[in-house]
Amino acid sequence: MSERLQPGDTAPAFTLPDADGKEVSLASYRGRKVIVYFYPAALTPGCTKQACDFTDNLQLLADASYDVIGVSPDKPEKLAKFREQESLEVTLVGDPSKETLTAYGAFGEKKLYGKTVTGVIRSTVVVNEDGTVERALYNVKATGHVAKIIKDLGI
């Protein structure tokens, strides 16, 4: 089981391909706050709801100096299809090796329909301008989560 991050930890660095195959690096967001959210799979109902919620609130978050990056184990081609099919504006990156998911504590054992399985743990990590973890939320719900983050961050 991967270790969960705590406020004050240094956010693990990553460089992952986006829906267009271009590399997105956490380091390039230095000086801005970033909401990095981890979701199991593109084109699934819960993940679609969550991505649409982030897209719907992207301007509000940007106005409060937050950028948003969604991370899943999907390949860029599937992310591109997801983005186009749902008109998503949030940056989506793929982590097929699951190294970044594991580094953030977002991959491991979880309960799914009463069974223990290994997979992506729906999680959100808020990273400060200096690259430290401000908040780390695990086992979050797809529905209503973005509204809760906005409220918790005082936006």
Contact between 124 and 146 under an 8 Å Cβ cutoff? The reply is no
**Catalytic residue (one of 47, 51, 106, 136):** 47
Environment class of residue 97 by beta-carbon count within 10 Å: exposed (0-12), middle (13-18) or buried (19+)?
exposed
Judged by phi (left if over 0) then psi (alpha if -120 to 50, else beta), residue 48 lies in alpha
Reported as half-sphere exposure (CB side, CA atoms, 13 A), residue 22 has a value of 4
The letter for the amino acid at 145 is H
The answer to whether 47 is a known catalytic residue is yes
Torsion over CA: 40, 110, 8, 12 (sign): negative
Contact between 74 and 101 under an 8 Å Cβ cutoff? The reply is no
Biggest CA–CA distance in the chain, Å, is 42
Active-site annotation, residues: 47
